[in-house]
Amino acid sequence: MSSGSAPPPATGAWQAGDPPGRREWIAGPGPLSLEAGGVLPGFELAYETWGEPNADASNAVLVEHALTGDSHAAGPAGHGHPSPGWWDGLIGPGRALDTDEYFVVAPNVLGGCQGSTGPSSLDPDGKHWGSRFPEITVRDQVHAETALADALGVRRWAAVLGGSMGGMRALEWAAGLPDRVAALLVLAAPAAASAEQIAWAAPQLHAITGDPGWRGGDYYDAPPGEGPHRGLGVARRIAHTTYRSEPELAERFGRRPQGDEDPLRGGRFAVESYLDHHADKLVRRFDAGSYLCLTRSMNTHDVGRDRGGVGAALARVTARTVVAGVDSDRLYPVYQSRRLAAGIPGSGETAVLSSPYGHDSFLIETGQISGLVKELLG
């Protein structure tokens, strides 16, 4: 927590009664059977849209967010939206996702914490789901999103786009429901989570569950400062380090101290202050239960599960496809994108974003990504 700031809330989740912002909601048509077994008795998905659907909604584009993203892909921060749109440079009139031509839809993922059903949501009895929220997978999340497509009258998406966790869902859409996806863009995401990616996630999960404020996942009624914000902050520090590249951190921070702090006398290095800042921001806008739930869904991501393996699953994809990696990404390295592209019929060579910003380049390099989107939709 930043020195002098107010103590963080038990959860940064959007809660009923908070300003809705641009969100709209759909309710699932009934119970959702889950891949790991069990049933979610009902669910809601929050979503935002830009542009207008044409007569048959064939101009609809689905945009899938990453782990700590949400439905607010475009637009400023404001009441109901703690952060500005994470792909604001791509969505709008005259932009790559031209809202004068396309109907752009961005849902908050099932298990998330910005309006969609997740651990911080209330169950049918009016209690926070907390520790009772079931295990969900990327496939379950896409299953839930089919209800959104149906509610909006979208039989087939003109394109499904996503990076990182969003790329996993985009790929699952194209492999699991190939007749509903005309074009596909997968950025900085693999066909299946690797051992190293699962290993990077493990200490993040332990940091959260080892926080005394975690309370087994049932902390939602805790007063400010007594939730699992310390564990969530440690998780964010670990994750954010993997999101950037070593050369960028070396150039931006080197071994410089933070201001007049002296590391020899317990002060921080500048890079530590940078990580502290990102941790403090996240604990005020996100939820530890959702972080755990969604990270586990990323760990279990495997498009080939129960489909005869990755190769057989990728062969199901019929969408016109662009796969892109980032040359400085140490979390989802380019070789994974190359393997993915090689397995999808007709996808061609992997596009490589050249950037010093590591994995986060899929959020930052909007100029390069705009070129890929125009290529895909052209």
Residues with catalytic roles? 164, 329, 359
Name the residue with tokens 């963080």. 8
Cα 229 from Cα 128, distance rounded (Å): 18
Q: How many residues does the chain have?
A: 378
The number of CA neighbours under 13 Å toward the Cβ of 242 is 18
Residue 97 three-state SS: strand
Angle between helix 288-299 and helix 138-151 axes, rounded to 10 deg: 110
For 252, the token pair is 């931006």
Handedness of CA 23, 28, 31, 34 (dihedral sign): negative
Contact in structure between 178 and 319 (CB atoms under 8 Å): yes
SS3 60: strand
Give the list of residues 6+ apart from residue 71 with CB closer than 8 angstroms, or none. Answer: 22, 23, 46, 47, 48, 65, 106, 107, 108, 114, 115
**Element housing 180 (H / E):** none
Query: Crossing angle for the helix pair 288-299 and 165-176, nearest 10 degrees?
Result: 50
Per the listing, tokens 């109901």 go with: 80
Phi and psi for 342 in degrees, rounded to 5? -65, -25
User: What sign results for the dihedral spanned by CA atoms 362, 366, 371, 375?
Assistant: positive
Q: Record the tokens describing residue 310, joined without a space.
A: 């990755």
Instruction: Please spell the DSSP secondary structure of 314-351, one letter per residue.
Output: HTT--SEEEEEEETT-SSS-HHHHHHHHHHSTT--SPE
